[in-house]
Amino acid sequence: MMAKRGDTIVVVGTRKGLFLFHSRDRKKWSSQGPYFEGDQIRHAILSPEDGKTIFAGITSEHWGPVVARTRDFGGKWNVPHEGPRFSKESGISVTRIWQLQTSPDGGLYVGVEPAGLFRSADQGETWSSDDGLNYWPGRDKWEPGGGGLCLHTILPYPGDPKRMLIGISAAGIFATNDAGESWKMYDAGVRWYGKKDVYDREDLGTCVHKMVRDAEDPAILYQQNHTGMYRRARGDLRWKIIEKGLPVSKSTGGTFGFGMAAHPHDGGTAYAVPLVGDYNRVTPKGAMAVLRTTNGGARWEKLTKGLPQNNAWFTVLREGIRTDTNDPAGVYVGTTTGQLYHSRDDGDSWRLLADHLPQIQSVEAGVFGG
């Protein structure tokens, strides 16, 4: 059934295909899919530019990655003949798509493995390499994280297509102010692994897991890193640790987790799902909790109403938590064991939206038709 303008829709990428959900009231949901059966969808998005186009990053481990799109809620998919490619001179090949993001000037960005950034001006039909990043002089020193050397976070700056931040596991955070011509690293303040000390230089490289921008001030960033939870605002000389109320890992000394989401309207409000640690990437004590801050990370509160509190041992991956654009906001969390939980009251209470899905790798939500 086709979604109607004004419906809330949820786009769920899984290890085995893509699923679409829509609802008029966020109480009763309809589902469609799976699309792209058997293929991994590490990320799929609803374009915020038109509220209609859904882009899906399809990774076939056998047959290569492409970015498909639909404008009629899965009625017809346009699958291009090719995906992004590195140059012959590079000696490397794109294997997986990790991140999709639209830009304020109408472009579409893709982050890939091995770490690379590409831009499309024709909705994914053809791609151009961001050579400033893809052939960064220190690239030979980039080390992969557990999931591979992946560019997993792309944060354009609202209203300014020249500014952008990206995150690479485990090479670090890179920033550009000239539309990708040049990049600078942005990691100062992040903890050394297992130590109280923090990096005092920008260019040492850390294992960023996810970054989001604040809803009211996009110059304020929240970061879930391998070694902890951080915040940084324009003018800050370094990332600041924001872990009051969050669990901390025995191995890193900071909060461990992957996914983060910002509230769509309320400045200072963000969500995360902390895990035990890098040695055991599951929900602590088998109890699921979403942690929320409403004051820019000064303190986090634990949200559990409606979430499983017994025998819930799973991971929430880096694209596994998102908000929609409603007021009050919907919050959506997908698990590696195939449950999709959602809240329609800013996270205060939760319900199961879908169960028995394949491993959930990404969740995005919005209002159909903008």
Partner 1 sequence: MTNEGDSVQVYVPYPLRGLTNGVGTVDLHANNLAQAIDELNRRFPGMAYRLLDDQGRLRRFVNAFVNEESVSHLAPSDVPLHAGDVITVLPSIAGG
Q: Which residues bind partner 1 (CB under 8 A)?
A: 15, 38, 60-64, 66, 80-83, 85-88, 90-95
What is the arrangement of strands in the sheet containing 221-225, beginning at the earlier edge strand? 208-213, 221-225, 228-232, 240-241
- Residue 84 Cβ, how far from partner 1 at the closest point, in Å? 9
Nearer of residues 76 and 234 to partner 1, judged by Cβ = 76
Nearer of residues 16 and 281 to partner 1, judged by Cβ = 16
Nearer of residues 87 and 304 to partner 1, judged by Cβ = 87
Calpha distance 153→342 (Å, rounded): 23
**Is residue 34 within 8 Å of 16, Cβ to Cβ?**
yes
With 0-12 / 13-18 / 19 or more C-beta atoms within 10 angstroms meaning exposed / middle / buried, residue 160 is middle
Q: Which of 320, 315, 307 is nearest to 351 (CA)?
A: 307
Non-local CB neighbours of 258 within 8 Å, separated by 6+ positions: 209, 210, 224, 273, 275, 281, 315, 316, 317, 318, 320
Nearer of residues 156 and 358 to partner 1, judged by Cβ = 358
- Residue 133 Cβ, how far from partner 1 at the closest point, in Å? 16
**Is residue 282 within 8 Å of 228, Cβ to Cβ?**
no
The alpha carbon of 226 is separated from its chain's Cα centroid by a whole number of angstroms, namely: 15
Nearer of residues 38 and 158 to partner 1, judged by Cβ = 38
- Residue 63 Cβ, how far from partner 1 at the closest point, in Å? 4
- Residue 81 Cβ, how far from partner 1 at the closest point, in Å? 3
b/e string for 300-331 if b means 16 or more Cβ within 10 A?
Answer: beebeeebbeeebbbbbbbbbbbbbbbebbbb
Calpha distance 228→192 (Å, rounded): 10
- Residue 305 Cβ, how far from partner 1 at the closest point, in Å? 34
Q: To which residue do tokens 């090949």 refer?
A: 93
- Residue 166 Cβ, how far from partner 1 at the closest point, in Å? 20
- Residue 36 Cβ, how far from partner 1 at the closest point, in Å? 11
Nearer of residues 149 and 220 to partner 1, judged by Cβ = 149
**Torsions phi, psi of 324, nearest 5?**
-95, -165
Instruction: Please tell me whether residue 284 adopts helix, strand or coil conformation.
Output: helix
Instruction: Please tell me whether residue 285 adopts helix, strand or coil conformation.
Output: helix
Nearer of residues 13 and 308 to partner 1, judged by Cβ = 13
- Residue 41 Cβ, how far from partner 1 at the closest point, in Å? 15
Nearer of residues 38 and 106 to partner 1, judged by Cβ = 38
**Which pair of structure tokens corresponds to residue 316?**
């929430």
